Amino acid sequence: MVYLENLQSVLSVTVSVSTILQFLSGVLVCKKIVERKSSGDISPVSFICGHLSTSLWLRYGFLIDNFSVIFVNSIGCLLFLSYTIIYGYYTIKKVILWRQFYISCTVLLLILAYSTYYRHDSDLQQNMGIICCVVTVIFFASPLSSAMYVIKMKNTSSLPFPLIVANFIVATQWYVYGVLLEDQFIQIPNLLGSLLSLFQLLLFCIFPSKKYQSLEDDI
């Protein structure tokens, strides 16, 4: 019992650090956008879903009174908002981006309103957990929106590799942490997220980026 409590304490620290590093991987994607002065074929869905997901998990963290969940998602919420703003500044599809972001914010406000005005609802924690599960799976799967393009072009340059790697590592850690907490709402989405991220990583093995292919050809 003591061993499990110590493991939970250690994992709460490591999962917090790795999650923040995962969120910071978006800096690499934004750096690429800034350098090109264009969003190119990079999808903003990961940033928008990331903001929505971290915002909802922040609320869930307060409901279960878990410091790790509250801490990492507070930082994540601010970072993903920053990434979305940077993307919006350089993209030529501003109308589409901000329409998606406004829809996301509307959904967020409605859910937060429900969790605030019905805070005495005995099913509130369970309902918020289910909502967080659904949004997190969408967040992990968001790079799959480019899957058809990747298969068609046989090139993975449109997939955010750093973000996908970080998703795989962090989702696996959160799954183990959820098992220790006996919280199915943390376990389920992160198990699925780990598997989805693994699938996306396999695409890099099947369809290497043409940039790296050209380097190999030159050699």
Band (209; pLDDT cuts 50, 70, 90):
low
pLDDT at 121: 67
Asked if the model's pLDDT at residue 213 lies above 60, the reply is no
Asked if the model's pLDDT at residue 125 lies above 90, the reply is no
Convert the pLDDT of each residue in 58-115 to its tens digit. 999 998 888 889 999 999 999 999 999 999 999 888 888 899 999 999 999 999 998 8
Mean predicted confidence (pLDDT) in 113-127: 81
Q: List, as one string, the DSSP characters of 144-195.
A: GGGHHHHHHHT--TTS-HHHHHHHHHHHHHHHHHHHHHT-HHHHHHHHHHHH
Band (212; pLDDT cuts 50, 70, 90):
very low
Which DSSP helix (H) or strand (E) runs through 216? Answer: helix 210-218
Among candidates 191, 194, 141, which has minimal Cα distance to 166? 194
